[in-house]
Amino acid sequence: MASRVLLFALLALVLSQAIASDPSPLQDFCVADMNSPVFVNGLVCKNPNFTTPEDFFFKGLDQPGNTMNKLGFNANLVNAMALPGLNTLGISLARLDFAPYGLNPPHTHPRATEVFTVVEGTFYVGFVTSNPDNKLFSKVLNKGDVFVFPEGLIHFQFNVGKTSGFGISGLSSQNPGLITIANAVFKSNPPISDDILAKAFQLDKKIVDWIQTQL
């Protein structure tokens, strides 16, 4: 009897994990109600009787972003917060602008796969697999090329051209999330102890302290 109970418990655990994902929409759309005080996993639906075409419209991706920064990079993310009609649809997109030799530094999207399409420019891109292999998959992309970054894996995009470039990324979540590795590790709030970082990266603590001042 005990073994049967254990078996059923394990089956229940496995099944609960198998169905633990975003549910499919139960109506045609669920435009986000930005004024609702209710906190849910996602965004509360607006009354469909008050929905307008503007809820499904976003203007501005034709305009280049400001790349006058240390990285020479700018991202204009169109998610459910910017385009309410995306709520519950499981997608978003972004325009990525790069100055010459601009970099979108190593980062992850914890909730989304990314598909990057080059519109203008030449880019060196890649992602790294998880432990223990940490294998790098990389490629030089030109105008019209497409590259996919699997969900949760560290990846980057680097403009190797002498002119500005940009691309469009599709993401498989209305809220893909973003973790920039250098910022998360060396610029956390409160900061991670420099003793920990020095040992983790096998660096002198003075170098760790210097890196923390540069971000």
Binding-site residue set: 104, 107, 109, 114, 155
Binding-site residue set for oxalate: 104, 109, 114
* Bridge partner list, 77: 94
Angle at 124 between CA 71 and CA 126, to 5 degrees: 95
Q: How far apart are CA 167 and CA 149, in angstroms?
A: 14
Would you list the DSSP string of 45-105? Answer: BPPGGG--GGGG----TTSPP---STT-EEEEEE-TTTSGGGTTS--EEEEEEE-TT-EEE
Binding-site residue set for Mn(2+): 107, 109, 114, 155
- Is the distance from CB of 29 to CB of 48 less than 8 angstroms? yes
